[in-house]
Each structure stands twice: as structure tokens, then as C-alpha cells.
Amino acid sequence: MKNKFNSIPLSILDLALVLEGNAPAQSFKNSLSLAQHAETLGYHRFWLAEHHNMVSIASSATSILIGHIAGGTTKIRVGSGGIMLPNHTPLVIAEQFGTLASLYPDRIDLGLGRAPGTDQLTARALQRDDQAAFEFPKTVRELQNYLSEDNQNSAVRAIPGEGLDIPIWILGSSTDSAKLAAAFGLPYAFASHFAPQQLKEALYIYRTNFKPSEHLKEPYAIACVNVTAAATSAEAKLTATSMEKIFLGILTNDRHPLQPADPNFKASPEAKQVMKQFLTYSFIGNPSEIKEALTQFVDDTQIDELMVVSHIYDHKARLNSYKILSDLQTAS
């Protein structure tokens, strides 16, 4: 096997979730605390996701939050998972990430997605046109050009940004993104934590069609999954009810901040069936259960890196879940 669970890098995706009864300011404190904790545990990177008009997510000003996290850590890579490029001009993103990379050299990742990360009404309020998503390949190239040394004689330049080695990633939840990442010779990250159905097909397309580039010689793929780890199975299942409520709220369009674990939570059979499809790659359990399941997942997918998101209300329980996962890699 190319990779084993106990040897591939572990990384974190964070959405700065808003907790019921708390303001976003607490979310930002928790995100920094988690990033610092992850750094001590040896996690490889810490990404933040751009979303808008969602009461449970506070990472809308993603570039600013990346700076906050990078400024409070010293070595862990920090980046976007991702910046939704249809919401922005490529020049602005080049300048923002050029600034971040100048402040925190060799630590900033720029993950790019084609979706707006919100509803259509909010997407229009972000002042991009309805066709922006269809021009994603073009705008990625435009962004790459602003960051290249070759742009120094152009009339429009990204200062800072130009000539900086900022790794660009293509993010996706479908096969379209896999084709683009392969054609551009860029690393690829798949959102299997909420869109699991096309993971294996997308990975196959990416690896089969990959064209080496100046940025990357061989395909490199991340898969993101949900993990809730605790000392016992019962504790983990109870803790995971917070995540289940978040996904149920998305399905029913009845959204709330992340709620505490609820021993009385029960979804309808119909909702459970739909949630099961969304949460195929959600790993909930005690340490041995988590290790067995993730080892199988890594063996099945042959991913190069595992990224984890954990929707856990209690901050100490969240920190502990990531520690359990880290400890599993180092255990014999």
C-alpha cells in the first residue's frame, strides 16, 4: 500500500462554529485554542472554510481569520479550505494571500472552491455575477498569473503576492473539480465530510488524468472526514448528536448554532436515511473503533493526507477528540 493511516499527515478543517449561547468572538477563541493544541500534537495544517449567511458558521471573513490563527501559532500550516473564488476578484485574493504569506512565510495554503458557499441571494449580495462559477478555471489561471514572477511587467500587479510561492489547492465535492485539479497539475482536496458519494470516482479521475506541472510532479490528494472520538462508544455517540443536529438543520432548512450533546435527540427514520448518505464518512467511537475505521478508509482510498472536521459543542471534548486521533497514529 502507498499509504497507511499511521504514517500520513493529519490536518484539521475548522468552520469557527458558533455555539448556542455564545457569540462568534468565542468561536474565534476556540479556533485559536484548537490550532495551538493541534500544533503541539503535530498536526500538519489547519484550514478554515468560507461560508456566508449561516448562523452556525463564523468563518465568513476567511482571510482575516487565517491571519488570526497564523499569528497565534508558529509552525502549523494555515490556509483556506477554501476561499470560494466566485465571491471575489482574483486580484483581491492574490493581495490578501500575498500579505498573509509575507507575514507568515512558508506557512500559508490557498485552497480554492467554485461554489459560492452560501445561497444564491447572498451570493448576489457579495456582488459577483451569476456566471462567476462557470469561469472558475479562468479565474484560477488569472490568480496564478498575479502570483507569478512573470507578471512583474504587467499593468496590473499583486503587491504583495507577486513571485511568492503560495501553494494553490483545488477543492471540490464533485468530479468536475477533480478534472480541473488534474489538468492544472495542482493538489486536490475532496469534501467527503458532507459530499461522500463521488469521492472514489473523483480520486480516480484526478489520479488518472493528472498532468505534472511546475507546482506538483505527482498527484496529491486530501480527503476530509468527520471524526468524533471519545473514551467510550457511548460517550462518542452522545457527543456526535451535536453534529447530527447541524446536518438535520441543513436538510430541513431549520438552522441553529451548534447545540450541546442531547441524549434525547432522535431523528425521524426518513431523516436518518438521508443523513446516513451525507455522513457516510463520519467516524464515531472509542479509540480502537476509530483506528480500525480510519485505517480501512485510508487503505480503501489511498489518500495522501487525512483532514478532519469535528462538530463538537464542548470545547474540551473537541480538543480531546483530536488528541485521541493523534495518539492513534503514534500508538504501536
Residue 185: Cβ-neighbour burial (10 angstroms; 0-12, 13-18, 19+): middle
pLDDT band (50, 70, 90) for residue 1: very low
> Rounded mean pLDDT of 245-268?
90
Range of the domain at 322: 10-330
On whether the CB atoms of residues 63 and 83 are closer than 8 A, the answer is yes
Indicate whether 47 belongs to any domain: yes
CATH of the domain at 45: 3.20.20.30
On whether the CB atoms of residues 66 and 80 are closer than 8 A, the answer is yes
Report how far residue 111's alpha carbon sits from residue 117's, in angstroms, rounded to the nearest whole number.
Answer: 13
Report how far residue 328's alpha carbon sits from residue 290's, in angstroms, rounded to the nearest whole number.
Answer: 9
> Rounded mean pLDDT of 295-320?
97
**Which pLDDT score, from 0 to 100, does residue 332 have?**
53
pLDDT band (50, 70, 90) for residue 143: very high
> Rounded mean pLDDT of 240-268?
91
Amino acid identity of 117?
G
Report how far residue 174's alpha carbon sits from residue 277's, in angstroms, rounded to the nearest whole number.
Answer: 15
- Look at the chain and report how many structural domains it folds into: 1
> Rounded mean pLDDT of 141-169?
96
> Rounded mean pLDDT of 207-212?
98
Indicate whether 61 belongs to any domain: yes
Indicate whether 66 belongs to any domain: yes
**Which pLDDT score, from 0 to 100, does residue 38 have?**
98
- Return mean pLDDT, the chain: 94
Indicate whether 277 belongs to any domain: yes
Model confidence, pTM = 0.95
Indicate whether 1 belongs to any domain: no
- pLDDT of residue 223 exceeding 90, the answer is yes
Indicate whether 131 belongs to any domain: yes
- pLDDT, tens digit (0-9, with 9 covering 90-100), for 96-123: 999 999 999 999 999 999 987 677 777 7
What backbone torsions phi and psi does residue 199 show, to the nearest 5 degrees?
-55, -55
114-126 burial, b for 16+ CB within 10 Å, e for fewer?
Answer: bbbbbeeebbeeb
**Which pLDDT score, from 0 to 100, does residue 201 have?**
97
pLDDT band (50, 70, 90) for residue 2: very low
Cis peptide leading into residue 82 (ω within 30°): yes
Indicate whether 3 belongs to any domain: no
- pLDDT of residue 319 exceeding 60, the answer is yes
Indicate whether 2 belongs to any domain: no
- pLDDT, tens digit (0-9, with 9 covering 90-100), for 58-77: 999 999 999 999 999 999 99
On whether the CB atoms of residues 165 and 147 are closer than 8 A, the answer is no
> Rounded mean pLDDT of 264-285?
90
